[in-house]
Amino acid sequence: MEQEREPTVEFEVVGRKVYLTLNRPERRNAITHEMAREIKAAVDRANEDPAVHVIVVQGAGRAFSAGYDLHRYAEEGVGVQPPVWDPIKDYQMMKSNTDDFFSLWRSLKPTIAKVRGYAVAGGSDIALSCDLVVMAEDARIGYMPARVWGCPTTAMWVYRLGAEKAKRMLLTGDTIDGRTAADWGLVVGSVPEAELDDTVERLADRIAGVPVNQLVMQKLMVNQAYDNMGLQGTQILATLFDGITRHSPEGRWFHEFAATHGFDAAVKWRDSGRWIPEGGGNVADQTERDTQD
C-alpha cells in the first residue's frame, strides 16, 4: 500500500485567523510543484470559510522559504527539457505555479506573510504575493536566480519597489535584510526576530476585527489599480522569460554544473559573483579556467 505523503502546507484555524505553514523545514521550506498546488488549495479553503477574516502565511522552522528545491529541479533536472525545448509546455508548468502563488494576492481575504530567516528566489515570489509582508530585521529577501536560471514570475518587485530599486535587485541578484526592505517600502515593516510573532498577531487581530465584506471591497479596489497598470501582462512576459533563462546556454551550463558538482556548489558559484560562462561552455573547462584566474 502506498504511503500517504505528508502535506507541504499545514492549515490551522484559530478564531478569525487561518495559518498556512510551509512545511518542509528540513529543506528550509524549498518549493515543489506540490507545495504550489497546496498553497492554492489552502487559500481556497480559507476563502470558503465564512468565519475566516485573515490569512497568515509562515514557514516552519528557521526560514520562510529558500526558493525552489534545486536538488530536485537543478541537480536532478526535473522539468528541464532537452535542447530542442517547447516553450509553451514550460510556460504552462510555470504559469500554473505562478497562479498558485498569486492566489494569495487574488484571495478575497487579506493575506500576511510572516518572514524569518529567508524569503529568497521563489520564496520571495510567495511572500510578495501576500498583501502585507512583515519581516524579522535580520531576515533576508531577494531573487538570486536573476543572475542565472530565473526570472521572478509574479513580477512583484517592480510593483512594490518601482523601476530603479527593482532593477537594483534584479540586475545583481543581491539580497537585502528586513530593515532595508522596510526602508525601501518593499515590506510593511520589520522588527527584531523575537518580536515577529507578536507583531504579526497584533496586525492580524486588527484586520480580523473588520467585517469580511469590508475587507474584500478594500482589497479588490486596490488590486484593480495594479491590474490597470498591466500586472497580468507583465506576469505573462516574466513567466516566459523564466523558461528561457533555464534553457539558455548559460542556464544549461548552470544545470550541468549542478548535476555534476551538486546544487550547493552551483548556487555558491552563482551567488559569489564569479563569471557565468557566456554561451554555456564546458563545466570542466570553465572550472579549470576559473581556478587558474
Q: How far apart are CA 156 and CA 128, in angstroms?
A: 6
- Go through the chain and tell me how many residues it has: 293
Q: 11-14: which pairs have CB atoms within 8 A and are 24 or more residues apart?
A: 11/42, 11/45, 11/46, 13/49, 13/51, 13/52
pLDDT score of 285 more than 60: no
Q: 4: pLDDT confidence band, cut at 50, 70 and 90?
A: low
Cβ(112)–Cβ(132) below 8 Å: yes
Beta-carbon contacts of residue 198 (< 8 Å; ≥ 6 apart): none
Residues pairing with 113 in the sheet: 57, 133
Taking only the tens place, the pLDDT of each residue in 28-44 is: 999 999 999 999 999 99
Cell of 269: 558559484
Q: What is the mean pLDDT of the chain?
A: 94
- Tell how strand 189-191 and strand 175-177 pair up: unpaired
Per-residue model confidence (pLDDT) at position 291: 45
CB-facing half-sphere around the CA of 231: CA atoms within 13 A: 18
How many Å separate Cα 185 from the centre of its chain? 18
Amino acid at 25: P
Give the pLDDT confidence of 153-196 residue by residue, as tens digits: 999 999 999 999 999 999 999 999 999 999 999 999 999 999 99
Q: Which of 54-68, 70-84, 156-170 has the lowest mean pLDDT?
A: 70-84
Give the pLDDT score at 79.
Answer: 85
pLDDT at 2: 43
Domains of the chain: 9-246 (3.90.226.10), 248-292 (no CATH)
Give the whole-angstrom CA distance, residue 45 versus residue 108: 12
Q: Are 36 and 100 in contact (CB under 8 A)?
A: yes
Residues 34 and 28: their CA atoms lie apart, in Å, by 15
* CA dist., res. 99 & res. 36, Å (int): 9
CA diameter of the chain: 65
Residues 6+ apart with CB under 8 A from 60: 10, 21, 22, 23, 24, 25, 29
Q: What's the rounded mean pLDDT across residues 209-215?
A: 98
Residue 292: its pLDDT value, please?
A: 46
Sign of CA dihedral 105, 58, 74, 157: positive
Stretch 212-217: mean pLDDT: 98
Contact 208, 214 (CB under 8 A): no
CA dist., res. 158 & res. 170, Å (int) = 10
